[in-house]
Amino acid sequence: MKPVFLQLSRLAAIAAFAGVLMLEVGGTPAASARSRQSAAGGVTVVGYSTDRALRRAAASSGARVVRRIRALHVAVLRIPPAAARVLDGLRGIRYSREPVLRHELVDPAVMPAPALGGAYEWQYAAARENLVPASALRAASAITVAVLDTGADISAPDLAAKTPATWSVRGNSSDVTDYQGHGTFVSSLAAGSTTNAEGVAGFGGDARLLAVQAAAADGTMTDVDEAAAIVYAVDHGAKIVNMSFGGPVTSPTEQSAIAYAAAHGVLLVAAAGNSGQTGNQPSYPAALLQPLGSNGQGGVGLVVAASSLTGARASFSNYGSYISLAAPGENVFGALSSSSDPYYWPRQSLPGSAAGIYGYGSGTSFSSPEVAGAAALVWAANPHLTAADVAEILEQSASGHGGWNQDTGYGVLDVAAAVARAQGSSVAVPAVDLGGTRSGLRVTLSWSSPGAVSYRLSVSRDGATAQTLLASTTATGSTHRLEPGHSYSFTVTATDAYGLRVVSKPYVVVLPNSTVKLDLHASSLVGRKQLTTRLQGIFNPAGKNVPRGDRKLFLESFDGHSWHRVAVASTSRTGVATWTVTLHRGSYRIRARYAGAEDLAPATSRVVTLRVR
* Single-letter code of the amino acid located at 248: P
Active site residue 103: no
Distance CA 208, CA 519 (A): 84
Residue pair 331/14 in contact by the 8 Å Cβ criterion: yes
Q: What is the DSSP string of 428-460?
A: -----EEEEEEETTEEEEEEE-TTEEEEEEEEE
Distance CA 253, CA 203 (A): 30
One of 61, 96, 107, 149 is an active-site residue; which one? 149
Beta bridge partners of 335: 358
Active site residue 182: yes
Beta bridge partners of 524: 533
Rg of the chain (C-alpha set):
36
Residue pair 319/276 in contact by the 8 Å Cβ criterion: yes
Distance CA 90, CA 50 (A): 12
**Contacts of residue 377, Cβ cutoff 8 Å, sequence gap at least 6:** 132, 136, 137, 139, 140, 203, 204, 205, 207, 415, 418, 419
Q: What is the three-state SS of 213-235?
A: ECCCCCCCEEHHHHHHHHHHHHH
DSSP, collapsed to helix, strand or coil, labels residue 264 as coil
One of 9, 168, 178, 182 is an active-site residue; which one? 182
Active site residue 73: no
| Nearest Cα residue to 176 out of 11, 13, 339, 357 | 339
Residue pair 76/41 in contact by the 8 Å Cβ criterion: no
Distance CA 499, CA 451 (A): 11
Distance CA 507, CA 529 (A): 63
Q: What is the DSSP string of 332-346?
A: EEEE--TTS-TTTS-
DSSP, collapsed to helix, strand or coil, labels residue 84 as helix
CA 191 centroid distance within chain: 20
470 φ, ψ to 5°? -130, 115
* Single-letter code of the amino acid located at 535: L
**Contacts of residue 559, Cβ cutoff 8 Å, sequence gap at least 6:** none
Residue pair 203/147 in contact by the 8 Å Cβ criterion: no
* Single-letter code of the amino acid located at 298: G
Distance CA 153, CA 356 (A): 10
Residue pair 532/525 in contact by the 8 Å Cβ criterion: yes
One of 96, 307, 365, 454 is an active-site residue; which one? 365
CB burial string 245-276: b at 16+ within 10 A, e below: bbbeebbebbeebbeebbeeebbbbbbbbbbb
The dihedral formed by the CA atoms of 236, 378, 409 and 124, expressed in degrees to the nearest 10: -100
CB burial string 474-483: b at 16+ within 10 A, e below: eeeebebebe
Distance CA 139, CA 133 (A): 10
Q: How many other C-beta atoms are found inside a 10 Å radius of the C-beta of residue 185?
A: 37
Question: Please, what sign has the CA dihedral across residues 261, 265, 270, 272?
Answer: positive
* Single-letter code of the amino acid located at 101: L
Please identify every residue annotated as catalytic.
149, 182, 365
